[in-house]
Structure 1
């Protein structure tokens, strides 16, 4: 099966599960174990639930407000339309098989899917209320709550359910509203059973697995599980036998189905609950641990990026200060302008340099201030040819990224090349893709030496060279960038392309 179809099938899996569950409930309620009836029920329900499949898939593919609109049309508008048609057309009402129960199952499956998708983007933090809401404890509790509600509704649909077995697996929501006290009478008893089940899960997760298995190993875990099974099973079953439903007939709702809390099946059920829940708990604990490790890795990467961004080229800074000192001695009118530009550069480095992203206009302003300072230093011996973009300047870019290429162009090219020389630099935008091109002269005395090539590629050990730039690009852009830096004739040409984030 192609990967695209596997992905579609994975997305539609919750709706498929809801459809099959509704089909099984309908088929069992007919009490006609015939294969033709089985196929007809499943085929008809698939046809009637087809709008749910379409709405769920489109809501997954589409972004923005249209996602919610499509979901509401499929899971709210379609059931309302089908209900209206059933009331106004007797032929459609006789053919129509899908009811309120099926609508609720499909909607609940879709909502749970999107909650699952949302939980994958929630920051794994103990302080996050959303992460607690989507935790394993909450999900187990929710499943047990739904289980209690479902069985209370099934019991309500059958008169004297403890006697009239087997039960029809049907829930009538109108009947629940009409007979709410009786529904509550069943619900709180099944909720008591659910509390006992949750207690087994809780003890397994927080005592047996986290305390014994994680800290002391397999043998103490197995011993603790055996002690729990032998000491807890009978008292819990004895307590549950006091529920009103367990005093109606000889049949009871405890695992053994009789009035003996010491029945061997009660101990077996506790064992199977532990055996069933342990892999789920261990898988979730592993996922939570992986999420915490990933968060630590992200924090480490963010710290590394901030350190890389904060590096200021001391070569440029010292040369600028020396030139500024010389201008001050000459009482030159250019000195105040140089101080202003240098202060602007340092201010941007200290404050904007700590941001994860800045606007392209801010980064260009920084480059222009840098070039303005270099023009003051190289007024007579270098010509600057620069091209800047005029639109889409509010797109986002990591700060202090492009300056690396310019610094290398001056340090390893212009300052060591024969005079006069020329620097060509351009920034162009094509949609969200930025292209930064720069070429500078290569010092003739060192143009053919391996040493010069190494310096041009990596920069010196004390500055922020192209090795620094490559590291930042790999961390922040992954495969969404390209960087080429090579000698072409007597020029060194660097070309950087990357995909920018929207404003």
Structure 2
């Protein structure tokens, strides 16, 4: 707008130089934005720089650059004080020119777009823009016409008539050029707020799901201990010891986002030990473990759900003999967990455990997991695959 009108010197070469500088500034701005998104965004003090502040800083820098370019063609390099005096004079005048455009941008960003366009619609917004321009452009035009730089290049940059319609073109250009930028940045800010809200909601839901899993498991375990105590079994004390180890893991590790896979395996093994104590029949157990990387991590209390489901709906209901086969294979790219157990009664409801597990997987590994459950007359199979990359 007014910034574009400023760069209309007497010589056409200066116009081309100014256009090249504007194009280069745009390229630098895009590169800086990309660097900001990737490297600098994590720094708090930079995140506090809003659009208005960044634009004001750009106006000041542009004033310095244009003033330096102008003075370099007008003053002798050897005359330092004369060069400095002329530079300061041009700097003040160019800053006044660009700040006129910045004022229009500020009004558009702070008032017209958020309070008129978003609330009242496009028609009232356009009328408001015309009203602002009609009110301000004569004052700005007269101010710019009074500046000495207006006649410094052999011809006037701004019309001496403050009410000349040509003076309004710069204001209209500022409004039109800034509108898509303001809308894009506000959309990006709102999108970030939505993503932040969705993440907070997902974290809250994950915490609630984990809290539901823990009481569900302990309720079943206490029922097991109650059955052992009724029989006055010598295994009661051993069961309590196993339960204490499981509770320690659940309380201290269950609240973490990730745990080592070997810790989760140890938890599953303790769980199986606790469950097999109270069985009235023989359990044919096979637990194959193939962990190729020692530092693999997964969310706590995730795999145990399939094992618990195998005991609750298959192993415990067996009359004579039960079968349970568990296979775990993991590397830095993928984890595969297979839990297969014998069944005698087909149940229609999978229970809260599997439902919570499916929801946790959707939140933790969206698009990076598969959970395949198959069942026939005597076998129940659950195969979970998780891709880490």
Asked if TM exceeds 0.5, the reply is yes
SS at match of 1:478: coil
Q: After TM superposition, give the deviation of residue 436 of structure 1 in Å.
A: 0.7
Post-superposition CA distance 1:53-98 (Å, at most 9, x none)? xxxxxxxxxxxxxxxxxxxxxxxxxxxxxxxxxxxxxxxxxxxxxx
Q: CA-atom RMSD, angstroms?
A: 3.7
1:176-255 correspondence runs (5 A): 182-246=86-150, 248=152, 251-253=155-157
Shift of the alpha carbon at 1:200? 0.9
Corresponding residue of 2:34: 114
The C-alpha deviation readout for 1:265-324, integer Å capped at 9, x for no partner, is 112221221122122212222222222222222222222222222222656433421332
Match of 2:201 in 1: 300
SS at match of 2:371: strand
Instruction: Tell me the alpha carbon deviations over residues 363-387 of structure 1, each in whole angstroms, 9 at most, x when there is no partner.
Output: 2232223222112223752233223
Larger RCO (alpha carbons 8 Å, 6+ apart): 2
Aligned to 1:147: 62
**Secondary structure of the equivalent of 1:312?**
helix
Query: Residues of 1 paired with 2:140 and 2:223: CA distance?
Result: 84
Q: 1: CA distance between counterparts of 2:296 and 2:175?
A: 54
Aligned in 2, Cα 1:137/1:473: closer, same or farther, shift over 3 Å?
same
Structure 1 pair 138–397 and aligned structure 2 pair: CA distance change class (3 A): farther
For residues 247-276 of structure 1, the C-alpha deviation after alignment (integer angstroms, 9 at most, x for no partner) is 6477445xxx23333221112221221122
1:432-451 alignment to 2 at 5 Å? 432-443=333-344, 446-447=345-346
For 2:91 and 2:206, the matched residues in 1 are separated by: 55
In the TM superposition, residue 342 of structure 1 has moved relative to its aligned partner by 2.4
Alignment partners' CA distance in 2, 1:283 and 1:29: 34
Q: TM-score, length-normalised on structure 1?
A: 0.64
In the other structure, the counterpart of 1:282 is 183
* 2:340 is equivalent to residue 424 of structure 1: no
Does residue 405 of the first structure (1) align with residue 306 of the second (2)? yes
**Is 1:470 matched up with 2:358?**
yes
TM-score where L is the length of structure 2: 0.81
Aligned residues: 372
What is the rounded CA distance, in whole Å, between the counterparts of 1:314 and 1:113 in structure 2? 48
| Superposed CA offset, 1:409-462 (max 9, x none) | 11111112232222111211133311111110011xx35xxxx3x43xxx22xx
2:264/2:300 contact within 8 Å kept: yes
Instruction: Tell me if 1:323 matches 2:224.
Output: yes
Q: Separation in 2 of the partners of 1:421 and 1:222?
A: 77
Whether 1:136 aligns to 2:37 is no
